[in-house]
Structure 1
């Protein structure tokens, strides 16, 4: 987790790294974990209308 509360899954989603996102979810990363400003990996994907990411995060 970085100084903003972002975990690796958050960073993978934000950077558009589908393979890493998938790998992290498969190994138990929490798509609903919120950073310090209340954003989760799932909420970021939903805001970007990134259907491919939303599917694996739900």
Structure 2
């Protein structure tokens, strides 16, 4: 699984700090989800919350 979060954030002109604020998490959590390993370890609930916070579908956050 490959993370597409960096691409999604760039397309929407969002910063990791803003996404962290929206989710109520530390910026390091958002950074971890930008990595392939981090996105693969995220729960479905986390992915759903992340997708809502950035305005995309869960499937947009990664590629297989």
TM range (shorter): 0.3 to 0.5
Which structure has more RCO (C-alpha within 8 Å, separation ≥ 6)? 2
Q: TM-score, normalised by structure 1?
A: 0.36
| Greater helix proportion | 2
| Greater strand proportion | 2
